[in-house]
């Protein structure tokens, strides 16, 4: 009883301090995290927190670059302070446009935060920002014939670099936000799913250095010495190009039975990112023996965020059930 009263008092103090914008470090529990099938918590949103910096050029790798801030939003379940699982959601837009403020991401983030996750949504450098691209990556991309695809694939590198920088920032601040980094889920839609797969399946050193520290001082702002381990990937109508590029360029084999569990949802009539991309990922996971599920969204095109299956399950419901099973979370 005394122990329960002590925890209640600590939680009350944290609530008071948080109301004044003061975050109190908390001990990260090794216990299994607890989440809820139904909405449990009110959600507080903290916006535009800087998680690092990156270089922006007038064109790819042009001289005289500028440093630009990289920002994220945090969806925080109120009155839940300890041992909280992590979710990172990455917006789509073909690496040309999009933002963390788009309504589908606000809705999905609120869905999971209200059920116990601390959700981080990130912005990253887009094609118009002309982020730095390593020379070997540029040479690899230049084999592609169309300029549109070349620029898109060049933009993917700094975008995934930024997403991985956000992951390291989250791990570096785990005590501040009372999160349990043993339970990390990363997901996204379209280009965001491409990034999520790159984040979750690549090695820690991949997509880290665009240039040397001497050429790019922003690298020091991205917590480069911190590592992280993704448990589950949510792939909403994405593709595996970010992983295939690393495999081909650096002669790696990133697909194996120890890969994070993978949730795939893809419209069977998608005209932007072909449904075959989902089937290809399914086949790879079948071959390796890593856990996955594929939800064919019958008759749907690209980006059906408000999909419901025949039993009334939303994409959020389906993803939640998969995460709970794969990460063995306590669910109430």
Dist CA 192 CA 90 (whole Å): 5
- Of residues 156, 164, 320, the one with CA closest to residue 230: 164
pLDDT (tens place) for every residue of the chain, 332 residues total? 444 444 444 445 444 444 444 444 444 455 899 999 999 999 999 999 999 999 999 888 777 899 999 999 999 999 888 899 999 999 999 999 999 999 999 999 999 999 999 999 999 999 999 998 888 888 888 887 677 788 888 999 999 999 999 999 999 999 999 999 999 999 999 999 999 999 999 999 999 877 776 778 899 999 999 999 999 999 999 999 999 999 998 999 999 999 999 999 999 999 999 999 999 999 999 999 999 999 999 999 999 999 999 899 999 999 999 999 999 999 99
**Adjacent-strand bridge partners of 120:** 74, 88
Q: What's the pTM value of the predicted model, to 2 decimals?
A: 0.90
Contact predicate 83/28, CB 8 Å: yes
- Total residues belonging to the chain: 332
Cβ neighbours around 132 below 10 Å, total:
26
The domain of 145 spans 2-331
Q: Which is nearest to 86 in space by CA: 225, 186, 198, 236?
A: 186
Element (H, E) at 38: none
Are β-strands 292-297 and 118-122 bridged in parallel, bridged antiparallel, or unpaired?
A: unpaired
Q: What is the C-alpha to C-alpha distance for residues 198 and 160, in angstroms, rounded to an integer?
A: 7
In 3D space, the residue among 75, 25, 20 whose CA is nearest the CA of residue 46 turns out to be: 75
* CA pair distance 193, 202, nearest whole angstrom: 14
Count of structural domains, the chain: 1
Q: Calculate the dihedral angle through the C-alpha atoms of 81, 262, 318, 89, rounding to the nearest 10 degrees.
A: 50
Q: 3-state class of 46 per DSSP?
A: strand
What CATH number has the domain bearing residue 200?
A: 3.40.50.1820
């Amino acid at each position: 009883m005394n122990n329960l009263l002590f925890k209640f008092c600590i939680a009350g103090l944290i609530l008071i301090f948080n109301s004044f914008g003061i975050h109190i470090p908390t001990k990260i529990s090794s216990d299994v995290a607890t989440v809820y099938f139904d909405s449990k918590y009110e959600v507080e949103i903290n916006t535009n927190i800087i998680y690092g910096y990156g270089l922006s050029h007038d064109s790819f790798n042009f001289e005289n670059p500028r440093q630009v801030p990289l920002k994220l939003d945090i969806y925080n379940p109120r009155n839940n302070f300890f041992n909280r699982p992590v979710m990172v959601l990455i917006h789509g837009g073909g690496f040309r446009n999009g933002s963390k403020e788009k309504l589908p991401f606000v809705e999905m983030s609120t869905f999971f935060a209200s059920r116990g996750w601390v959700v981080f949504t990130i912005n990253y450098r887009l094609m118009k920002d002309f982020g730095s691209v390593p020379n070997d990556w540029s040479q690899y991309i230049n084999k592609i014939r169309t300029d549109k695809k070349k620029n898109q694939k060049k933009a993917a590198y700094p975008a995934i670099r930024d997403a991985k920088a956000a992951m390291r920032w989250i791990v570096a601040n785990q005590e501040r936000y009372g999160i349990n980094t043993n339970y990390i889920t990363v997901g996204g839609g379209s280009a965001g799913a491409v990034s999520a797969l790159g984040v979750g399946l690549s090695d820690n050193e991949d997509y880290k250095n665009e240039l040397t520290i001497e050429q790019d001082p922003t690298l020091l702002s991205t917590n480069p010495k911190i590592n992280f381990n993704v448990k589950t990937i949510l792939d909403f109508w994405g593709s595996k190009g970010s992983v295939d590029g690393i495999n081909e360029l650096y002669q790696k084999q990133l697909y194996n039975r120890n890969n994070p569990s993978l949730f795939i949802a893809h419209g069977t009539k998608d005209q932007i990112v072909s449904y075959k991309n989902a089937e290809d990922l399914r086949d790879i996971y079948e071959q390796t023996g890593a856990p996955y599920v594929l939800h064919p969204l019958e008759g749907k095109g690209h980006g059906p965020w408000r999909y419901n299956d025949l039993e009334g399950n939303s994409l959020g419901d389906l993803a939640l059930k998969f995460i709970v099973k794969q990460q063995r979370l306590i669910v109430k």
